[in-house]
């Protein structure tokens, strides 16, 4: 069962300056091949941050999973629609399965009343 994910920091530059994003990915090549950068921005660098513990929690509003980790720049979270979400769904499939079962039981209880 996975407990940690590989994280990268992406530096992106535009006319307003630089910004940094953290993403979980299989590899730097995977990240580079799938990351979409706006045409007015430039990818400056991708830096491997290391492996960090990831928590998976229920997102009751969306019947989905929220992933979170403590990275060097602070707290990080990933929800449905974010870049790292499909990767984390696969890597933490056991936790995701447990959360889906939680939703199934919750809904069964709600509809049973």
Q: What pLDDT score does 1 carry?
A: 64
Q: What pLDDT score does 24 carry?
A: 98
pTM given for the model: 0.88
CB count, 10 Å around CB of 61? 8
Q: Which residues of the chain, if any, have pLDDT below 70?
A: 1, 113
Q: What pLDDT score does 108 carry?
A: 80
Q: What pLDDT score does 6 carry?
A: 98
Return the half-sphere exposure (C-beta side, CA atoms, 13 A cut-off) of residue 37.
20
Q: What pLDDT score does 111 carry?
A: 76
Choose among 46, 1, 51: nearest CA to 21.
46
């Amino acid at each position: 069962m996975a407990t940690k994910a590989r994280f990268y920091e992406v530096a992106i530059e535009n006319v307003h300056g630089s910004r940094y994003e953290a993403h979980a990915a299989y590899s730097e090549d995977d990240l580079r091949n799938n990351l979409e950068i706006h045409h007015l921005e430039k990818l400056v660098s991708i830096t491997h941050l290391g492996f960090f513990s990831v928590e998976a929690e229920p997102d009751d509003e969306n019947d989905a999973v929220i992933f979170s980790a403590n990275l060097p720049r602070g707290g990080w979270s990933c929800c449905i629609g974010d870049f790292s979400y499909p990767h984390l769904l696969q890597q933490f499939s056991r936790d995701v399965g447990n959360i889906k079962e939680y939703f199934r039981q919750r809904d069964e209880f709600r509809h049973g009343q």
